[in-house]
Amino acid sequence: MTGASRGWARAPACIVALFLWAAPALAVQPDEILADPVLEARARDISREIRCPVCQGETIDDSNAPISRDLRLIIRERLVAGDSDAEVVDYVVARYGEGILFNPRAEGVNLVLWLAGPVLLLAGIAVALAAGRRRKATDTALTVEEEARLKDILNQ
């Protein structure tokens, strides 16, 4: 196979990769985009923090679900009305709950979630160290009888 034909063999994969890479950008429709680039940039920043209530694994900026479009429009309306970014996020959280945020706030009940990972990691390290120390304490040399028995077993 020549170098040129190998390149053509990869072309379909490159085209698919290009479409997959560009697909999330298609979620925000042209009629949603604000004329003011500063407000639009703020809207995009906020949209990347909000989880799609339908998709759960996507931001509303990446999702084509109708609810995501509604949320994008609400965010833009609030920004045009003069709300700060924090006020817009608080408005969305008040309507849909804390679960709508991709990065829940480290306060209240969510503090348990933020601290659970590091606490469990430290507990796991402590258990591993304790088990290693116990193992070293129980590791002793074989007695003369045990060595003789081992040699008998290996020689059979």
Dump pLDDT digits (tens) for 62-87. 888 899 899 999 999 999 999 999 99
Q: Please list, in sequence order, all residues whose beta carbon lies within 8 angstroms of the beta carbon of residue 113, skipping any fewer than 6 positions away.
A: 104
What is the structure's pLDDT at 4? Answer: 53
And the tokens for 7? 């390149």
Q: Is the pLDDT of residue 131 over 70?
A: yes
Give the Å distances, CA to CA, from 37 to 27, 42, 79, 80. 18, 9, 12, 12
Place of tokens 């659970």: 116
- What band does 94 get if pLDDT is binned at 50, 70 and 90? very high
Q: Bridge partners of 64?
A: none
Reported as a pLDDT band with limits 50, 70 and 90, residue 93 is very high
Q: Which two tokens stand for residue 138?
A: 């129980």
The residues, ordered by sequence, that sit 6+ positions from 69 with a Cβ below 8 Å of its Cβ are 29, 32
Q: What local confidence, expressed as pLDDT, does residue 90 receive? A: 93
Position 76 scores a pLDDT of 93
Q: What is the CATH number of domain 1-105?
A: 1.10.8.640
Q: What confidence score (pLDDT) does residue 86 get?
A: 92
The pLDDT of residue 24 is 46
Q: Is 118 or 113 the better-scoring residue by pLDDT?
A: 118
Q: What pLDDT score was predicted for residue 72?
A: 92
Find the mean pLDDT for residues 118-133: 90
Domain boundaries defined on the chain: 1-105, 106-156
Average pLDDT score over residue span 9-36: 64
Query: What does the alpha-carbon distance between residue 143 and residue 44 come to, in Å, rounded to a whole number?
Result: 72
Lowest-confidence pick of 24-33, 100-109, 134-143: 24-33
- pLDDT of residue 36 exceeding 90: no
3-state secondary structure of 10: helix
> Cα–Cα distances in Å, from 100 out to 104, 114, 128?
8, 16, 37
Residue 64 neighbours by CB distance under 10 Å: 16
Confidence of residue 125 (pLDDT cuts 50, 70, 90): very high
Distance of alpha carbon 154 from alpha carbon 156, whole angstroms: 6
Asked if 60 and 47 count as a contact pair (C-beta separation under 8 A), the reply is yes
